[in-house]
Structure 1
């Protein structure tokens, strides 16, 4: 996308504002990943120290559930980080803020709430 089309979608002030918003989103997600990784590693380490059979241990099913829950949240956070990184790339390339589905501009309000959004609300719902 050319510089003029990027400027038509966002002013330089908005461009910088979205860059800062995405950078903050990235930093927060990185912190979340680190915390979830520590939690998951702690669970694995704690379970390695105790020779229990999850199937017959009354606490085993909840331990397995907690471990699976943290693993799912960790995977989701990593996916979100990848989405944020792609959004930062689109911002630098001048494609940020344009719906990948219909090509129309994504409303600024949506981007402020979901800075890594790739689609407008209509395309996201469909």
Structure 2
């Protein structure tokens, strides 16, 4: 599978995950409509609030990942995919295989931490 196919496949997978998480979020919100609105005194209320927060966090994470994949596709189209944005050297193929959205080589990514 070439780079474009791998990135497009990752984009499709992320969109499917986002759609599933959105359905889950909608179901949690719908369930909360039937519950007591007093989360402090209703034992189920805090569970629903926690679930809603967890699913929302996963949705936000999926949106960020989708943006990273789209940026990687843009770099591919611009002919700079696989080039470290910090030092300008090539990013190791093994790193791109493991993390296709990588913007930095391992040395620059490690230095940033």
TM-score of the aligned structures, taking structure 2 as reference length: 0.91
1:42 corresponds to 2:36: no
Alignment of 1:29-108 (within 5 A): 29-108=14-93
Q: Which runs of 5+ in 1 are unaligned?
A: 1-15
Counterpart-to-counterpart distance in 2, 1:40 and 1:54:
18
Out of 20, 30, 36, the residue aligned to residue 5 of structure 2 is: 20
State how far apart, in whole Å, the 1-side matches of 2:38 and 2:107 are. 49
Gaps of 5+ in 2: none
Change beyond 3 A, Cα 1:60–1:51: closer
Cα drift, residue 112 of structure 1: 0.9
The TM-score, its normalising length taken from structure 1, stands at 0.83
CA offsets 1:34-79 (integer angstroms, 9 cap, x no match)? 0000000111111112233111111222221111111011000011
Do the aligned partners of 2:25 and 2:56 also contact (CA within 8 Å) in 1? yes
RMSD over aligned Cα atoms:
1.3
* Structure with more contact order per residue of length (Cα contacts < 8 Å, sep ≥ 6): 1
Q: How many residues align?
A: 111
